Structure 1
């Protein structure tokens, strides 16, 4: 079993990374393979709604690592999405990154039914708004959301300050333990032949007719 932890910060080894490392350590202790995937510090173009991905099977833009992530995601069993707080929300970079990753993923094969959790880091405020924003990718994609003992956030202006946030780090560790538990529960269910009921086709309607 493998979990990909997405670092949505422009700082590769900053506060968000520090929080993700605490989760990674706990997952590894539970025999879960992990990879921290950094989205990078270069500008990431947002989705333009060209729908070319429906024809070619991936996002038409190849000047960043969105398509690389989606390919890796197909073989992953769970995800952690992490972002620092920028203007009381997730960064523009991870928003563009996840918009395109989810929209270009035909049939939702990379993410469907796979557990996910979101975390945020901030000097002071905006963590819960960022947390809510990141969770919306899961709730439209049939992904079970894994929770912890509090809203998943750490506080600090530097990695050293984050390491002093004892409660925040505890929340990260418990999140890792909970993720490992649910991954193992899912494996037991799948191995026993349990399947999700998808007998009803999706209904899509417009408000204006």
Structure 2
């Protein structure tokens, strides 16, 4: 089984990555392969609603000069998708938004290939506003018929400065519990998305 994480933070080694890696620790302890892809800080173009993905049906976006098609291909192969973003003005980063918009269109155009995969949102936040960030990511999972995994609290960790989220004991425990819940669901479904 494979879990794929996307770090939507421009800080490739910041709080969002720390949270995702805490989830990965639990998954790896249970024999689940994990891969993290850095999306934040890269040039990621937004969706233009051209709908060419519905004409082509090739599991790709026609915009092919950034990382998104690689991400879509990896999503198709994964059993679990974790999307993490810091909270920017009570929402996700523009790179994360571009990824979910374009991946969502391609998924819809190609027989909803994310159906019944496991999804989990994660957000780093200085103080407040992250619930909307989590909702935005969860809406991507829900519209694509995925199973959304929760934890013992909202899937967030608090910290402003780089690395500060590690000092949020409750946030780190929440990520640990999230990893356990993801692993439990993956084992129950055996990573299968059969109809």
TM-based fold match above 0.5: yes
Number of corresponding residues: 191
1:30-179 to 2 correspondences below 5 Å: 30-56=30-56, 57=58, 58-105=60-107, 106-109=110-113, 111-179=114-182
Q: Which has the higher contact order (CA 8 A, sep 6+)?
A: 2
Deviations 1:176-209 (A, max 9, x none): 0100010000019x5xxx964xxxxxxxxxxxxx
Could you list the runs of 5+ residues in structure 2 that have no partner in the other structure?
A: none
Given that 2:90 and 2:133 are in contact with CA atoms closer than 8 Å, whether structure 1 keeps it comes out as: yes
Structure label with greater radius of gyration? 1
Q: Which residue of 2 aligns with 1:201?
A: none
Structure 1 segments of 4+ aligned residues over 4 angstroms from their partners: none
SS at match of 1:154: strand
User: Taking structure 1 as reference, are residues 148 and 60 closer, same or farther at Cα in structure 2, changes over 3 Å only?
Assistant: same
Could you list the runs of 5+ residues in structure 1 that have no partner in the other structure?
A: 197-209
Q: Which residue of 2 aligns with 1:17?
A: 17
* Alpha-carbon distance in 2 for matches of 1:100, 1:27: 27
Q: Which residue of 1 aligns with 2:188?
A: 185
SS at match of 1:104: helix
> Could you say what the CA RMSD is over the residues aligned between the two structures, in angstroms?
1.5
Report the Cα offset of residue 53 of structure 1. Answer: 1.3
Given that 2:40 and 2:96 are in contact with CA atoms closer than 8 Å, whether structure 1 keeps it comes out as: no
Deviations 1:14-39 (A, max 9, x none): 11001011011111001100001111
TM-score of the superposed pair, with normalisation by structure 1: 0.87
Deviations 1:63-90 (A, max 9, x none): 2111001111111101111000111111
Report the Cα offset of residue 55 of structure 1. Answer: 2.5
SS at match of 1:3: strand
Q: Which residue of 2 aligns with 1:203?
A: none
* Alpha-carbon distance in 1 for matches of 2:162, 2:102: 29
